[in-house]
Structure 1
Amino acid sequence: MLPDVHTPQRDSHRQGARTSILITALCGVMVVIEGYDLVAYSVVLPVLTENPAYGFTPGNVGWVAAAVFVGALAGALTSGWFCDHYGRRPVAIAALAEFTLFSGLCGFAAGPVSLGLFRLLAGFGIGALIPAASALTLEFAVPRHRTLAYTVMLGGVPIGGVLAALTAIPVLANLSWHWMFFIAVIPGVIVLPIVVKALPESVAFLESAGRADEAAAVRTRFQLAETTGQDDTPASVGGGLFSPGYRTATILFAAVTFCGLLAWYGLATWLPGIMRRSGYELGSSLVFLLVLNLGAVAGSLFIAAATDRWGNRKVVVLTYIGMAIALVVMQYKLPQPPLLLAIALAGVGGHGGQILINAFVSKSYPTHWRARALGWSLGVGRLGTIVGPVLIGWIVAGGDPRLGFVVFAVAAVVATILLSLVPRTPAFKEASGKAG
């Protein structure tokens, strides 16, 4: 057997991989908790509307569902500014603590108003986390595996959804709906001190803030090369998200994200309610939500591999086309096997498509703009998460719940068309040239 030859380059690659895994895992666990909190309301929605004593109706549950996304809109739009001024690490930690607290308080809600208020406040942390966690994951990832690391990290959202659906099956059968929110506090309390201790600050942020000693300490701790965290975009690229070369992409990314999030979060919020009102039992409706999120998890892994081969744009177009077809099929009364397959495919397209859009956004801007670019696209895009649940609430109240699937399909098609119009930015061309 040949001896294992250690070279500085090989050791550096190994340390880089270990660092990438650590940061991806830490950010991914936080996103799992967020995913649970997002889906917790979806799983209790059928219970809320079936018991008049709770005070929920098909009309107001849509507004309560939208409340978390209104908060998330504010969180996402301000996250980039907070990240640029205070750092990615404190924003991620504060966001986790904030939405854990208010998600737990949802368990004490007495009706639509109090539940909507607590969901609104929890949403601020939910919206602020993703841009901060995304920027950290992408910065510390091994360059050739950035898309994979990012996909794994954001895969935490549907994993959290799976856990919420699995938790709901015994909880709703034996306890009140309030316990879905009480349980949400447990992982946050466990993970928060771990993240405080182990999560590093962005080297790029520390250097841009003139905190060279702290940046050097992070490099030493993780044995990072001197280039880690440096802006890999030409110095000539500058001016802001709306500067020449970036303006059109910035506008279109926000529009694409709006359509994608309208379809995905509208579906994830209302799937149990729509299926329950279409004649399925509560247990079956929760299984449908479970399959949707399992499809999203499995699809994330497939999409990461496909993206490395065919690129972001081609794969996201295919995922949204597949989602649109699945949603059209879902409006018909089908035997369970093809229905479950269509739901899983919708999960692949809805979540996977948004992952690829976010990765596309990140690749299209210089390193020090990434948090702000993601905050912008996700912030404006989260208007879709508000419109989707409210719009479908009106449709359900009108007596034709399955028409909601058609609305989601149209949104997916529009996202596909808009995405095809996004131009290649200077930073994207530079990154593609280096990758080549």
Structure 2
Amino acid sequence: MSSSPALSARARRLALLVVGLCWLAVLFDGLDMFIYGSVLPHMLETKALGITPGQAGDLGSYATFGMLIGALTAGTIADRIGRKKLMVGCVTLFSLASALCAVSGGVAVFGLGRTLAGVGLGGLLPTAISMVSDYARGGRAALTVGVLMTAHHAGGILSAYVAKWLVEPVGWRSAFWVCVVPLLFVPVLAKMLPESLSFLVAKGRTEEARALAGRYEVELPDTTGRKTATDRWDALRGLFRGGAWSQTLLYWLASFGGLLLVYGVATWLPTLMRGEGYNLGSALTFVVLFNLGGIVGMLIAGRAADRFGAPRISAIWFALTAVGVFLLSVRMPLGVTFLVVFLTGVFLNSAQTMIYATVSLRATPDSRATAVGWTSGMGRFGAVFGPWLGGQLLAEGHGDWGFTAFALAGVSSMVFIGIAALRATGRPADDKARQELVTTG
């Protein structure tokens, strides 16, 4: 799209169309991601499928392991078949996988369903981010990505209400049937979402790209600077040259702790709060407040980083997150607990974003995408470990240690990102990197 701020009415309509469709797709992504944590207290209480606390943690990790596979393969697949087809395929996959969970008669089939859902979820988010970034020009890419990520947390809020309204009267399977509803959205997405202009030009489909650009009065993107596979591997090697290796590893460790915290809390928050003595209704209200905090945090994180610096905000955010998560293990008046959960959501859900912003700031322009992508990928191992850790603690009768363990993960990320920032030398090559905030997906 044209870099000119004076976009035509047709160009604005195209941007709104793409962002709107991607927002709905990410909403369904968030619903499917958070639904397991929302129904888990009921499943454990009723011994659904014979699930034990240890198995529940494993099942939570299956989805995040699937997300790791989906995230790492999404770019390669999108380069082959196109971003639009990949998005359609991802929504179809996680919807059908939810149907498999709904009809499962045992833990093995349910686990397969969650793993397949994770693959779809992990592939959708980076593809949707790339899609909206492709059509959001005029210096608004960061804002557009921030708006897109509010859909993920809106899906988390929706999952709590689905569980609250359906699980007790109808049963846990009903929640997963709701997650099949996005299949109805697939034909709409396939018909109305335009293909990425960058993909069309890169594949030599220039006539199709010109027709789309002409219809909406936008400019064709310049793809002459696209990296080859060899260039991308060279950029990865560059992250370890000289003294850069220690900084790279510190960023990866910080990302590991951050995503361990994000997905550990997202999976186990309702169950751990039930263990603290709150009823199911209150436990699900915590999910709503946590994700409302995530929406607010996503909208303020960029401004804070622009003013005070992304590394500093990242360290402070993780410190505040650790305090908030630890306080959840302390019995407090309900109103105070609601406030702590909300504020923890504000800081936790944007603390990881600040890691990506820091990496983006410190990387050179030609290696920035590689640096951020691999930092995200290494962090996904933490996303797998977090749900498993919570399940093991609960299985051993140490559920009250869950919040403490997650708080320690926040402290570790604070330390790693702080050391990495102190060791960094030189100024970022491009100050506009401050605007390039990437989300936690």
1:116 aligns to 2:111 (yes or no): yes
Q: 1:153 aligns with which of 148, 151, 163?
A: 148
Counterpart Cα distance in 2 of 1:427 and 1:229: 28
Aligned residue for 1:225, secondary structure, equals coil
Q: How does 1:93-108 map to 2 (within 5 A)?
A: 93-108=88-103
Cα 1:78–1:322 shift into 2, 3 Å: same
Whether the 8 Å contact between 1:79 and 1:375 is mirrored in structure 2 is no
Relative to structure 2, which stretch is displaced further, 347-356 or 35-44?
A: 347-356
CA deviations over 1:43-62 (Å, ceiling 9, x no partner): 11111111236301111111
CA distance in 2, matches of 1:83, 1:250: 27
1:291 aligns with 2:280: no
1:79 aligns with 74
Matched with 1:4 is none
The alpha-carbon deviation at position 368 of structure 1 amounts to: 11
Could you tell me how far apart the structure 2 residues matched to 1:348 and 1:279 are? 24
Contact 2:254 2:413 in 1 (8 A): yes
Q: What CA distance in whole angstroms lies between the structure 2 residues aligned with 1:284 and 1:149?
A: 33
Shift of 1:105: 1.9
Superimposed CA distance per residue, residues 281-322 of structure 1 (whole angstroms, 9 cap, x where no aligned partner)? 111111111211111122222224434544543433332222
Deviation at 1:175, TM superposition (A): 0.5
The aligned residue for residue 385 of structure 1 is 383
> How many residue pairs are counted as aligned between the two chains?
423
Secondary structure of the residue aligned to 2:294 is: helix
Which of 12, 16, 27 aligns to 2:7? It is 12
Deviation track 1:347-395 (CA, whole Å, cap 9, x = no partner) reads 112222234445666775769984x766544333221121111111111
Query: Aligned partners of 2:210 and 2:258: how far apart in 1?
Result: 40
Deviations 1:11-67 (A, max 9, x none): 426655444333222222111101100111111111111123630111111111111
1:199 to 193, 202, 208: 193
Alpha-carbon distance between aligned partners in 2 of 1:257 and 1:375, rounded to the nearest angstrom: 11
Q: Distance in 2 between matches of 1:394 and 1:57?
A: 10
What is the one-letter code of the residue matched to 2:286? F
Matches within 5 A, 1:32-431: 32-52=27-47, 54-186=49-181, 188-227=182-221, 231=225, 240-244=234-238, 248=244, 251-358=249-356, 370=369, 376-420=374-418, 421=420, 429-430=429-430
CA RMSD in angstroms comes to 3.1
Q: How far apart, CA to CA, are the structure 2 residues paired with 1:368 and 1:243?
A: 10
* Structure 1 residues without counterparts, runs of 5 or longer: 1-7
Q: Give the distance between the partners of 1:87 and 1:373, measured in 2 at CA.
A: 23
Moved more, 93-102 or 298-307: 298-307
Per-residue deviation at 1:216? 2.2
In the superposition, the TM-score normalised over structure 1's length comes to: 0.86
Maintained 8 Å contact 1:231/1:366: no
d(CA) in 2 for partners of 1:326, 1:289: 15
Q: Give the stretch that moved more between structures: 261-270 or 104-113.
A: 104-113
Moved more, 36-45 or 416-425: 416-425
- Name the stretch that deviates more: 420-429 or 163-172: 420-429
SS at match of 1:219: helix
Distance 1:315 1:29 in 2: 30
Q: Matches of 2:387 and 2:4 in 1, distance apart?
A: 51
**Structure 1 residues 28 and 328: alpha-carbon distance in aligned structure 2, compared to 1, 3 A threshold:** same
Q: What is the DSSP-based 3-state SS (H/G/I as helix, E as strand, rest coil) of the residue aligned with 2:399?
A: coil
Contact 2:255-2:352 within 8 A present in 1 as well: yes
Deviations along 1:216-266, one digit per CA (max 9) or x if unpaired, are 233223322345667599xxx876441426874765554333221110110
Question: Which stretch has the larger CA shift, 308-317 or 334-343?
Answer: 308-317
Question: Which shows bigger deviation, 240-249 or 322-331?
Answer: 240-249
Task: Give the partner amino acid of 1:198.
Answer: M
CA distance in 2, matches of 1:116, 1:132: 25
**TM-score normalised by length of structure 2:** 0.85
Greater alpha carbon shift after TM alignment, 114-123 vs 374-383: 374-383
After superposition, the Cα gap between the structure-2 partners of 1:224 and 1:417, relative to the gap in structure 1 and judged at 3 Å, is farther
> Does the C-alpha gap of structure 1 residues 144 and 318 become closer, same or farther in structure 2, counting only changes over 3 Å?
farther
Give 1:415's aligned amino acid: S
**Are the equivalent residues in 2 in contact too, given 1:95–1:128 (CA < 8 A)?**
yes
CA distance in structure 2 between the partners assigned to 1:217 and 1:246 by the alignment: 44
One-letter identity of the residue aligned with 2:201: E
Please tell me whether the aligned partners of residues 364 and 429 of structure 2 are also in contact (alpha carbons under 8 angstroms).
no
Consecutive unaligned residues of structure 2, counting only runs of 5 or more, are: 436-441
> Deviations 1:102-156 (Å, cap 9, x if unpaired)?
1122111123222111101111111111121111122222342222111111121
Distance 1:23 1:329, change over 3 A: same
Question: What is the deviation of 1:412?
Answer: 1.8
Q: Deviations over 1:84-108 (max 9, x none)?
A: 3332222222111111111122111
- Partner amino acid, structure 2, of 1:92: M
Cα distance in 2 for partners of 1:23, 1:414 equals 38
Q: CA 1:357/1:195 → structure 2, altered by over 3 Å: closer, same or farther?
A: farther
Shift of 1:339: 1.2
Report the equivalent of 1:30.
25
Q: Give the Cα separation in 2 of the matches to 1:231 and 1:426.
A: 25
Q: Return the alpha-carbon distance in structure 1 between the equivalents of residues 428 and 209 of structure 2.
A: 26
Equivalents in 2 of 1:385, 1:392: separation in Å? 12
Contact 2:100 2:109 in 1 (8 A): no
| Corresponding letter in the other structure for 1:128 | G
